[in-house]
Amino acid sequence: MQKSDTNKTRCRRCGDCCRNGGPALHKADLPLIQDGTIALTEIVTLRPGEWVYDQPEQKVAPLDTEMLKLKGRDGTWTCIHFSPEGNTCGMYSSRPVECEVLFCQDIEPLRAMYDKDRLTRTDLMPEGHPLLALMAEHDEKCAPAAMEQLAKAAREGDHDAGESLKEMVVFDMELRRLVPEKTSMAPEMNDFFFGRPLRVLLAGMNIKTYDAGGTIRFGFNG
């Protein structure tokens, strides 16, 4: 929550950076997860190939590596711990390291550490956890870059690409339905284990996914 005052040296806690998105999480933030300050239900995994907003560069670009990030609120990327009504942070005294170094008048400290020592899902899960194999299978079958290629081909009329895309999205949907059902895990955990739903990623490409008699169909817009 940072904006300088008239001498451009002090954060005014205006909340602009919090509205632009919660922080990515780094290994220095591990204690915040271990002590429950940050719950796994509050984390979304952004996977390689997803297009995301790069704060230091102020542009949208595809990820090269996995990123764990605090979720947004109210259907936006506004940090889940930010209160827009009072411009306050619910965890300011124990905020993640990116929040500590971010200052809108000088982003060099953030740029210097932005893509270094990031946490991954495997950092937060015990070795041999039964979901690790399922996560790896999902990453292989539902890779964002492969989804994007299929979606572009399907938009141009490639029927086979459309069918492959449909199979990919159905697999993603069924996995997200079955894992909470079989494990009694909170459905909100899906965003941590499997990242954002493919339906959400497709919506970012102006492709809507509709339920249609036990299967799905796509609406290509734009």
Answer yes or no: do 23 and 117 share one domain: yes
Question: 61 vs 12, 16, 49, 90, 221, CA distance in Å?
Answer: 29, 21, 9, 29, 22
pLDDT at 9: 60
- Is 8 part of a structural domain of the chain? no
Answer yes or no: do 93 and 157 share one domain: no
- Write out pLDDT tens, residues 197-219: 999 999 999 999 999 887 899 99
Query: Where does a domain end: 82, 101, 122?
Result: 122
Tell me the β-bridge partners of 44.
Answer: 69
- Is 4 part of a structural domain of the chain? no
Answer yes or no: do 204 and 110 share one domain: no
> Does residue 149 surpass a pLDDT of 60?
yes
Cα 114 → chain centroid? 15
For 141, other C-beta atoms within 10 Å of its C-beta total 14
Answer yes or no: do 107 and 29 share one domain: yes
pLDDT at 51: 92
- Is 32 part of a structural domain of the chain? yes
pLDDT at 4: 41
pLDDT at 77: 87
* Average pLDDT value for the chain: 90
Give the tokens for residue 113: 């550490």
pLDDT category, 46, cuts 50, 70, 90?
very high
- Is 1 part of a structural domain of the chain? no
Query: Where does a domain end: 56, 90, 122?
Result: 122
pLDDT at 5: 44
- Write out pLDDT tens, residues 63-79: 999 999 999 988 888 99
Answer yes or no: do 101 and 169 share one domain: no
> Does residue 166 surpass a pLDDT of 50?
yes
- Is 6 part of a structural domain of the chain? no
Query: Where does a domain end: 87, 122, 157?
Result: 122
- Is 204 part of a structural domain of the chain? yes
Q: Which domain holds residue 165?
A: 126-220
Total number of domains constituting the chain: 2
Cα radius of gyration rounded to whole Å, the chain: 19
